[in-house]
Amino acid sequence: MRMVMMHLVFDLIFHFASFILHFLSQPFFVVAVIRAGCTLKLQGEFFYIKS
């Protein structure tokens, strides 16, 4: 029974990882993440300068 549970967990992790990799292979998604990161970084620096 424990082996079945372990197998299910590994299966789930594998599917999740492949799903994320599929998402990352989409150029639009990568660009959106990079833009969001840059925006947050700029806002952080702006607030740091302001205070």
The model's pTM: 0.41
Q: How do residues 3-50 score in pLDDT, each as one tens digit?
A: 889 999 999 999 999 988 887 788 887 788 889 988 888 888 777 777
Whole domain around residue 27: which residue ranges?
2-50
Tell me what pLDDT residue 50 has.
75
Instruction: Enumerate residues 6+ apart whose C-beta is below 8 A from 27.
Output: none
- Report the C-alpha gap between 33 and 24 in whole angstroms: 10
Total number of domains constituting the chain: 1
**CB distance 50 to 44 below 8 Å:** no
